[in-house]
Amino acid sequence: MSDIRVRPIIRTARGWQLGLSKVVWSRPNARDVNITSLPNGSYLIACMYDESDAQRETVTYWEVSATSTKPWERMGTVDEAASGIVKSDIELMSNGNNVVLMYGRAHATDSASYVRSMNYHRYNDGAWKVMGSPSLGGSTGLFRHIKGDVSNGGTLFTLIDAYDYDKTDCTRHKVIVIVGSIHTPPDSWKVFSNHEVYSEGDRSIWSADASVGYDDVPYLVTQELDTLRGNPTSVEQDRHEDLEASLRYRVRLMDPAPNPTQGTCTVPVSVLRTCTINVRLVDAVGRTIETLYAGPVDEGIQAITFDVSAIPAGAYHVVISDHIGLAGSVPLVVMP
C-alpha cells in the first residue's frame, strides 16, 4: 500500500517548519507523484497507478485545499488505458494561472517494439482538456524522464529522456528538448533532439530537471551516467537499468528522536525495497562507536531503537549503509 500525503513547509520567524500531514489517498502501485499550486491557494496532485484487477493504467489527480480538513476537494481521472499501455513518466507544471500535465505513453506492437507518444493536457476550473501531442520524431521506444516548467508569460520548456529500443535490445539513448508556448498548439512547438548542449550522445541521463527563468530563458540540469561499451570506467547499458533502479530505491535515514538524547533514541529508516542495511554510530573523526543494527529490513518506515546511556557525551553521527555503500547520515548529540 502507498500513501500519498500533502505536508506544507511553512516559513516562520524562526525558520522553516513542517506543517500537518494530510493523507490524500492510499493505493497500491502508485508512482510518479507530482504537485503544484493553484491560484485559489489549493494544491493539484497527479500520479500514475496500475489497476491490476481492472487491467488498466491510470493517471489520476486530486485538488487539495490548503485549509480544509477533507482529504481532497476534487478527484478524477486524467486518462486511462489498457494495461498493455506503458505510461512511463509524468510532469505537472504551473505558472500560477495555467496548469499543464505532460506524460509519455507507449504500447507494444506485434513486431516486439514499443510505439510511443507524448500527451499534453491543461487543467482549468476543475476539468482537464486534451491539447494534443507534440511531434517528437521517431515513434519507437520509451520515455524515461520528463521534466519541465512554464514561465509567467506561458513559455513552456520540457526535457525528455528517451530510449529508442525494442523489447530485446536497447539501441540508442535520445535527449529531446521542447520549447513552445501553452497558448499555441503543440504542433507549433520547437523540438530539438540530441544537441550537444543538452547531452552527449553516449551518455544516459540518471536524473534531470528543467526551469524557465523570469526572463523566459530556459535552464536545465542533468546528472549523466557514462554507458559507453568498452570503457572500463563506464556502466554498460544492459546493467544500467538495474543500477539506476537500485539507486532510486536506496534507504534513507530520518531525523533521530529525541535529539539531543541521554538514554533511548530512535532513528526511523525509510525503506522502499526489502534490503540489508548496516547502521552505525560514529564519532567526529569517523570511528565506529557502536553498530546499532545489521541485517535485513522490509519495505516501509522501520525504527532503529538503541540506548546511548553508556556512550560518552558528545557530537556523533548515525550512518547507514546498504548493498551499494554509504547511503546517508544524520547528526546525533549525546547529553551527559
Cβ burial 282-316 (10 Å sphere, 16+ → b, else e): beeeeeebeebbeeebeeeeeebebebeebeeeeb
- Domains in the chain, CATH or no CATH each: 2-248 (2.120.10.10), 252-334 (2.60.40.1930)
CA distances (Å), 42 to each of 37, 63, 90, 126, 168, in order? Answer: 6, 7, 20, 12, 45
Q: What is the pTM of this model?
A: 0.61
pLDDT at 249: 67
Please tell me the distance from the alpha carbon of residue 323 to that of residue 215, in angstroms, as a whole number. Answer: 45
- Among 225, 65, 92, 67, smallest CA distance to 149 is for 92
**The dihedral sign for the CA sequence 82, 88, 94, 100:** negative
- Among 110, 98, 177, 107, smallest CA distance to 137 is for 177
User: Could you count the other beta carbons within 10 Å of the beta carbon of residue 50?
Assistant: 17
Please tell me the distance from the alpha carbon of residue 64 to that of residue 95, in angstroms, as a whole number. Answer: 18
Please tell me the distance from the alpha carbon of residue 230 to that of residue 238, in angstroms, as a whole number. Answer: 13
Separation of CA 41 from chain center: 24
pLDDT at 109: 63
CA distances (Å), 331 to each of 257, 291, 303, in order? Answer: 11, 16, 16
Q: What is the DSSP letter of 248?
A: H
pLDDT at 257: 87
Look-up of cell digits 547511503 = 327
Backbone angles phi, psi at 238, to 5 degrees: -75, -10
- Per-residue model confidence as pLDDT tens for the chain (336 residues): 577 877 777 777 877 877 777 788 777 677 788 888 887 778 888 888 776 554 567 888 888 887 777 777 888 888 877 655 666 788 889 887 788 999 887 776 655 566 778 888 998 777 888 888 888 766 677 777 888 898 888 888 998 887 765 444 445 667 788 898 988 989 899 888 765 444 454 555 667 788 887 777 778 777 665 544 434 444 444 444 454 555 556 788 888 888 899 999 999 888 877 889 999 999 888 889 999 999 999 888 888 999 999 999 999 999 998 877 777 788 899 998
Look-up of cell digits 493553484 = 38
pLDDT at 83: 56
Q: Looking at the DSSP assignment, which residues form a beta bridge with residue 149?
A: 157
Backbone angles phi, psi at 188, to 5 degrees: -95, -5
pLDDT at 265: 92
Q: What is the DSSP letter of 238?
A: H
pLDDT at 217: 78
Strands 85-94 and 74-82 turn out to be unpaired
